[in-house]
Structure 1
Amino acid sequence: PTATKETMLYSQILLSLFAASSALSLGGVTTAPRCAAASLQRLPAPCMQAVIDAKTVKKLRDATGAGMMDCKKALVEHSGDVEKATEELRMKGLASADKKASRKASEGIIETYVHTGAKLGVMVEVNCETDFVAKRPEFQELAKAIAMQVAACPSVEAVSESDISPEFIEKEKKIEAQSEDLQGKPDEIVQKIVSGRVNKLIKTKLLLEQPYIRDPNMSVDELVKSYVGKLGENIKVARFIRFNVGEAEAAAEEE
């Protein structure tokens, strides 16, 4: 009896569906389509996703160092807008790099760059956490980019602000305080102006603060942090030295 009831119920459902489809095809019933339309109106509008091709994903990955899936997700979220996706991924990369900044980085490589004509040469030390990452092509690519950056920025004298001596800062402040345009101004105003000018001067001497030569929209510091996100380890530019032909002779003559 139970099986018979289930069979009858199943048959009734099939008949109802058949009757509804027949009515729709003949145009005899208008209630069904109205109900269907009303139901559709209550549903949320379908999400229109931009078509993201592999070339765009690769371009974003090369620019940010983020993973393939992260790049694709960012592009989808921003409807294919590469600029907005790049900004989002860079912010995530900076946050990731900041978390890894306290890790010890004692491995790494020494990289060199000699400019065309062999009149200018640079040597840099870039550190990471493991020898495995130090051997990665991406890490070596970063080290070469840093060396080229140093060669392109003759005013750069230190990696970061921590490498600038307090004595140098005080000396520059005293010199700046003697500027003619500051004479006669209140001391508080003079101190603020002097600090601002000296900070601006110091930034011109710091490697990490410089705009990256291949992409002026990002700093060298942001470049390094993008590789932290790509390689998953803390990375630091330890030191550098620049050589110019004839520089040693000129220094000796001055002495």
Structure 2
Amino acid sequence: MENTVKITAAEVNKLRKATGAGMMDCKKALVEANGDFDKAIEILRKKGQKVAAKRADRESTEGAAISKVNGARTSGVSIVLGCETDFVGKNENFVNLAHELAELALNYSSKEEFLAADFNGMTVADKLIEQTGVIGEKLDINAFEKIEAPFVGSYIHAGNKIATLVGLSASAEGAEVVAKDVAMQVAAMNPIALNEDEVNAAVIEKEIEIAKDQLRQEGKPEAMLDNIAKGKLKRFFKDNTLVNQAFIKDSKVSVKDYVKTIGDVAVTSFKRVALG
């Protein structure tokens, strides 16, 4: 016997606002649920689970990279909400969802805690499954990075492709501008570490070996290799560690020296997340 329950436009609109699903999908779900709002949400979620299962092996390399900082400027988070296509990644509703999720992520210290957190009556993980059904693409949190410091700055690169955070050792006049500038530096130059001490020992060994191999090919005597390789290593640190890099807005000064223009302040940490 055909279901004759009458579904109003207002009910469809309410479900659409709650889930982001299309009008026809909402109407079908409400009809199937015999007008029961909660049951209709469950029907849409199950649809999302089916789509998610079908698309589990897809790559979610597009999306939106977002950074947020709390009101006190003492904590920041960067996330990547991943999807499959650039078209979805640029969609206004998708980007808005990424911003909402990043705002919520400020309250949690790990990706696992965040995925289990409540987002308008369902967990973040369930919201991603629901939206997979709505959008038709695999959605995932591809990155989650947190920073806590006396002052935290952030930057989101145009098109939400890269998002960064920078921690400073103190809050001083001008800290907001300086922290944003250094966060832009992190986005543009992609340093491998904060300073020499934080570069992985295996990376240093590899760089020394590369330098020595080049010098041998140039015919340099074996006895000179260690000293020349050390000089090349200094250059490597200058190019690849944040505080030693030339500042992108004034190459005459290092990032470390630029930060000191606002007082006895240093960069204590940074994070960078990107699509792909």
Pairing 1:46-61 to 2, within 5 Å after superposition: 49-61=4-16
3-state SS of 2:81 partner: strand
Cα distance per residue 1:51-104 (max 9 Å; x no partner): 322221122123233321121122123221101111111111122112112101
CA displacement at 1:218 relative to structure 2 = 1.1
Alignment pair present for 1:238 and 2:142: yes
Q: State which structure, 1 or 2, has the greater radius of gyration over its C-alpha atoms.
A: 1
* Greater helix content: 1
3-state SS of 2:58 partner: coil
- Unaligned runs of at least 5 residues, structure 1: 1-43, 160-204
Residue 100 to residue 48, structure 1, CA distance change in 2 (3 Å): closer
| Distance in 2 between residues matched to 1:62 and 1:101, nearest whole Å | 26
Map of 1:120 onto structure 2: 75
Map of 2:87 onto structure 1: 132
| Distance in 2 between residues matched to 1:210 and 1:136, nearest whole Å | 24
User: TM-score with structure 2 length normalisation?
Assistant: 0.50
| Distance in 2 between residues matched to 1:138 and 1:111, nearest whole Å | 14
Map of 1:220 onto structure 2: 124
Structure 1 stretch displaced more, 94-103 or 108-117: 108-117
Q: Is the 8 A contact 1:111 1:124 kept in 2?
A: yes
CA displacement at 1:209 relative to structure 2 = 2.2
3-state SS of 1:206 partner: helix
Q: Is the 8 A contact 1:65 1:229 kept in 2?
A: no
Alignment pair present for 1:206 and 2:113: yes
User: TM-score with structure 1 length normalisation?
Assistant: 0.54
| Distance in 2 between residues matched to 1:221 and 1:66, nearest whole Å | 17
Cα distance per residue 1:186-205 (max 9 Å; x no partner): xxxxxxxxxxxxxxxxxxx4
Matched to 1:221, the amino acid is A
**Percent of aligned pairs sharing the same letter:** 37
Q: Is the 8 A contact 2:81 2:142 kept in 1?
A: yes
Runs of 4+ in structure 1 deviating by more than 6 angstroms, as ranges, are none
Cα distance per residue 1:158-191 (max 9 Å; x no partner): x3xxxxxxxxxxxxxxxxxxxxxxxxxxxxxxxx
Matched to 2:99, the amino acid is K
| Distance in 2 between residues matched to 1:225 and 1:48, nearest whole Å | 28
3-state SS of 2:106 partner: helix
3-state SS of 2:78 partner: strand
| Distance in 1 between residues matched to 2:141 and 2:95, nearest whole Å | 12
| Distance in 2 between residues matched to 1:108 and 1:99, nearest whole Å | 19
Q: 2:44 aligns with which of 63, 75, 89?
A: 89
Alignment pair present for 1:141 and 2:45: no
Q: Is the 8 A contact 2:3 2:31 kept in 1?
A: no
Matched to 2:68, the amino acid is Y
Map of 1:229 onto structure 2: 133
Q: Is the 8 A contact 1:66 1:230 kept in 2?
A: yes
Cα distance per residue 1:27-58 (max 9 Å; x no partner): xxxxxxxxxxxxxxxxx7xx573332222112
- Unaligned runs of at least 5 residues, structure 2: 152-166, 171-267, 269-276
Matched to 1:84, the amino acid is K
Q: Is the 8 A contact 1:65 1:227 kept in 2?
A: yes
3-state SS of 1:105 partner: coil
* Greater strand content: 2
